[in-house]
């Protein structure tokens, strides 16, 4: 009888600078590069976007996930979306991205009043059979 499980890769930062945070400006999105699940046979990933809101935030931060079959051409409309609530500061949420070969993450403020700091982590998972 086969045993099934998961093998988790090391968590990596996919949005943010070398010292951790990237500051959003206006309503311009910041995007990750391609997250490749296909090459190493990963079945999915868990992403954790984090927001350090301004002291009196006006805007929320929306997170968009775009899927791709080849790591070059992504969906024109986000395939997954969620909002990070400004009521909790700092705030992070976790989302699963499953059964797609490639994806990228974008984070954007809902208005141009604030300059929130953001970052996003990703941990890929491989399905294993023993």
Instruction: Write down the pLDDT at residue 1.
Output: 62
Q: Which residues contact 123 (CB under 8 A, 6 or more apart)?
A: 8, 9, 10, 11, 12, 45, 46, 48
pLDDT for res 3: 61
State how far the Cα of 108 lies from the Cα of 120, in Å rounded to an integer.
Answer: 12
Query: What is the reported pLDDT for 97?
Result: 97
Predicted pLDDT of residue 5 = 75
Pairing of strands 12-15, 35-36: unpaired
Q: Provide the residue ranges of all domains of the chain, joining segments of one domain with +.
A: 4-129
Q: Distance between CA atoms of 39 and 17, rounded to whole angstroms?
A: 25
CA 5/CA 2 separation, integer angstroms: 10
CATH topology of domain 4-129: Jelly Rolls (2.60.120)
Task: Please tell me the pTM assigned to this model.
Answer: 0.92
Sites in the chain below the pLDDT cut of 50: none
pLDDT of residue 113: 93
The 10s digit of each residue's pLDDT in 9-26 is 999 999 998 778 999 999
pLDDT for the residue numbered 4: 73
Distance, in Å, from the CA atom of 43 to the CA atom of 3, rounded to the nearest integer, reads: 17
Strand partners, 18: none
């Amino acid at each position: 009888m086969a045993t099934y499980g998961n093998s988790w890769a090391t968590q990596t930062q996919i949005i943010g600078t070398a010292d951790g945070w990237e500051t959003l400006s206006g309503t311009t999105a910041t995007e990750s590069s391609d997250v490749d699940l296909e090459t190493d046979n990963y079945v999915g990933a868990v992403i954790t976007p984090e927001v350090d809101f301004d002291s009196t935030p006006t805007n929320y931060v929306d997170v968009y996930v775009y899927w791709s079959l080849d790591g070059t051409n992504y969906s024109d409309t986000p395939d997954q979306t969620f909002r990070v609530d400004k009521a909790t500061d700092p705030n992070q949420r976790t989302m699963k991205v499953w059964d797609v070969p490639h994806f990228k993450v974008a984070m954007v403020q809902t208005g141009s009043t604030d300059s929130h700091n953001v970052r996003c982590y990703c941990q890929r998972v491989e399905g294993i059979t023993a």
